[in-house]
Amino acid sequence: MEEIRSAYLDETLDTVRAADFLQYRSKDLPTWCPGCGYFGIVDALYRACRELDLKQENIVTVSGIGCSGRTPIFINTYGFHTLHGRSIPVATGLKLAREDLTVFAVAGDGDALGIGGGHLPHVARKNINITFLLFDNSIYGLTKGQSSSTTPHEMKTSSHPAGNPDTPLNPIRLALAYGASFVARGYAGDPQGLKDIIKNGILYQGFSFIQILTPCVTFDKENRTWKNLKENVVDLTPRMEEKNMETAMRLAQNEPHGVGIFFWDKKRPHYQEILRNLNKGN
Ligand SMILES: Cc1ncc(C[n+]2csc(CCOP(=O)(O)OP(=O)(O)O)c2C)c(N)n1
Ligand code: SF4
Ligand SMILES: [Mg+2]
């Protein structure tokens, strides 16, 4: 039985790999639960890399810990699976040492906004030229459904069976307040739209912050489900004005979830450009 399964998988994988964007997919089949939104996210990432014709050997994907932390294993690029909350500092060091590489930092909501929350203001204010993908399922998935920094107030979770007493963070408003100069939100159920957002994030010369709404189908059967997400996502593209903080802050309200680019400062130099300019004067 195992032999038949493995032969079937090999054959299926070979067929699927023929589709050229799947060159960015690793041989390891994702261990995520069937129906997890993370499949949609990596699909969008593969497509973005393909459309920009990035070479696998010039990409590094850096993750922390969590179900989202497994991402570098399923992408056929270089990668680091680091410590809980530490994808941003590792990605920062990497980008400073190797400016030629395309560097993705990925993190879950617990990883990015809980234990690793102290890194976000600094990567944003320094404007390090990396693309940050926040896999926001509003829950700690890997450790079985505890409340995270984005879990809605009163939602029942494994750590708060009577309901979450805390007020959730709004990641878009947070990134804007920290001074991130490319701030966007995508949705795992729309890999094509998400691919376009990620492409813009990669092309952006500076820190790009992309929150991705995605369901944890195993530990959240009520809140961020596929159905609820689909019904609560609206495309913001027509209402976006470049570099208007006030509009961005207003549109970042919780419901319905606006999807698109909230803020985009095309003129701000990234960290290494600032360093070069400073050094020119000496
Ligand atoms: C220092 C440390 N503290 C706690 C943990 C346990 N832990 C592993 S993953 C995780 C939370 C993951 O949640 P999130 O970042 O939202 O990722 P998801 O699993 O939802 O993708 C926690 C608390 C750990 N691995 N290391
Ligand atoms: S536990 Fe949740 S986040 Fe983790 S793989 Fe399963 S569905 Fe996805
Ligand atoms: Mg999570």
Question: Which CATH number does the domain housing residue 213 bear?
Answer: 3.40.50.970
Q: pTM (2 decimals)?
A: 0.93
Which domain, by its residues, includes 154? 2-280
State which ligand 1 atom lies nearest to the alpha carbon of 137. 20
Task: Please indicate whether residue 38, judged by its CB atom, sits closer than 6 Å to ligand 2.
Answer: yes
The type of residue at 25 is R
Task: Please indicate whether residue 110, judged by its CB atom, sits closer than 6 Å to ligand 2.
Answer: no
Ligand nearest to the CA of 219: 2
* pLDDT score at 61: 98
C-alpha of residue 147 to centroid of ligand 3, in Å: 9
* pLDDT score at 215: 98
C-alpha of residue 157 to centroid of ligand 2, in Å: 14
Task: Please indicate whether residue 164, judged by its CB atom, sits closer than 6 Å to ligand 1.
Answer: no
Whether the CA torsion 277, 205, 131, 147 is positive or negative: it is: positive
* pLDDT score at 236: 87
Among 42, 68, 137, say which to mutate for ligand 2: greatest number of ligand atoms within 8 Å of CB: 137
Provide the 10 A C-beta neighbour count for residue 126.
16
* pLDDT score at 17: 47
Task: Please indicate whether residue 211, judged by its CB atom, sits closer than 6 Å to ligand 1.
Answer: no
Q: In what order do the strands lie in the sheet with 102-108?
A: 78-81, 59-63, 102-108, 131-136, 208-213, 182-187, 257-264, 233-235
Q: Give 282's strand partners.
A: none
Separation in Å, CA 250 to CA 103, 170, 176, 182, 246 = 30, 12, 11, 16, 6
The two tokens of residue 190 are 């729309």
Q: pLDDT in tens for each of the 282 residues of the chain? A: 455 556 555 555 555 544 678 899 999 889 999 999 999 999 999 999 999 999 999 999 999 999 999 999 999 999 999 999 999 999 999 999 999 999 999 999 999 999 999 999 999 999 999 999 999 999 999 999 999 999 999 999 999 999 999 999 999 999 999 999 999 999 999 999 999 999 999 999 999 999 999 999 999 999 999 999 999 999 987 666 667 899 899 999 878 999 999 999 999 999 999 999 999 976
Phi-psi region of 92 (alpha: psi -120 to 50; beta: other; left: phi over 0): alpha
Among 142, 216, 229, say which to mutate for ligand 2: greatest number of ligand atoms within 8 Å of CB: 216
Domain total of the chain: 1
